[in-house]
Structure 1
């Protein structure tokens, strides 16, 4: 169950702070655009999953209260608000929403980006990575290949057709290790 203790808020804040970096949001939103053309939307879980069977059980009220406290704390956090605002300025909207699937319920920060704004997000990622304007066309092409080889539904076939360009050119390899396990 989600709780409002400082550790749970801290872990959720750390996960969001990483995911809201332009270079990470770009991968998530581009991946969604590849999977669902016309509907680029990424979801970042902020609460633990609650099984449906427990949703109406005796702990449901406590879970609901803890979720409200967690989302309120994350929404008010000045660092996260600044990261969300930066993305908003290039066309990426975000909002906390309830989520569910067959196995349970949770709350996510949902990022929404019209496909027409992905280029602006990529420009922001390139700015953050310090990529010179003269190199951006080549780097963008490398990013497109990276996405097709790693985040497309036909990634296995694409790996036989497209050259290995390594990791995303916008994300330093050491940052990929930070996302493992979140």
Structure 2
């Protein structure tokens, strides 16, 4: 977890711009659906944790001010706003929200999506990938296999039962590893 003081805002903005692309959001939200099949809504954090100090005093005030500055900068970025709006237009809400664990407090941009809207995100991903209407049913089936082989809780067993279809058909190969850097 990065500290607020060590956060590179330009790097955070670039990672957020990538994470808000439909093809990336689709993987995260579908993965949540596979992991928690009883939930009616999927939710994922799409930013790095923006830390808060949880102690009182001057350091806490400076940390809170820094957190507000970072969230404000991310929220005001026109590219990020446009990407959030595009997802919102198909039913995906996004908001900066606080959370915590034993490591402390943080803020993240969280996407929330009702299950029935996942197909709308998939249509956006297909549009972005330039997939022809005639091929979308086949590509969607390939995506479903990709998710079951890589993001389902029984992924190991699924890899013995399902064919290898490669990576997500909506993500160009040059972007396969960008979120892990």
Give yes or no for TM over 0.5: yes
TM-score (norm 1): 0.91
Tell me the SS of whatever aligns to 2:110.
strand
Give yes or no for the alignment of 1:41 onto 2:43.
yes
State the partner residue of 1:140.
Answer: 140
CA distance in 2, matches of 1:31, 1:93: 17
CA–CA distance in 2 between the matches of 1:162 and 1:60?
51
1:1-182 → structure 2 map (5 Å cutoff):
1-3=3-5, 8-37=8-37, 38-49=40-51, 55-56=54-55, 58=57, 59-181=59-181
CA distance in 2, matches of 1:160, 1:57: 53
Partners of 1:115 and 1:150 lie apart in 2 by 19
Secondary structure at 1:55 match in 2: coil
> Structure 1: where are the runs of 5+ without partners?
none
The alpha-carbon deviation at position 156 of structure 1 amounts to: 0.8
* 1:48 positional shift: 4.1
Alignment partners' CA distance in 1, 2:100 and 2:172: 32
CA-to-partner distance for each residue in 1:48-68, whole Å, 9 max, x for gaps? 445xxx521552221111000
Q: Please give the secondary structure, in 2, of the residue aligned with 1:169.
A: coil
Offset of residue 164 of structure 1: 0.6
Mapped to 2, the partners of 1:88 and 1:44 lie a distance apart of 15
Consecutive aligned runs of 4 or more in structure 1 exceeding 6 Å deviation: none
Residue deviations 1:134-154 (CA, integer Å, cap 9, x gap): 000000000000001101111
Supply the distance in 2 between the matched residues of 1:65 and 1:71 (Cα, whole angstroms).
Answer: 10
Measure, in 2, the Cα distance between the counterparts of 1:45 and 1:129.
Answer: 23
Q: Distance in 1 between matches of 2:161 and 2:66?
A: 48
Write the distance in 1 (CA, Å) between the matches of 2:88 and 2:110: 12
CA distance in 2, matches of 1:131, 1:103: 43
TM-score (norm 2): 0.91
Structure 2: give runs of 5+ residues left out of the alignment: none
The RMSD of aligned alpha carbons is 1.6
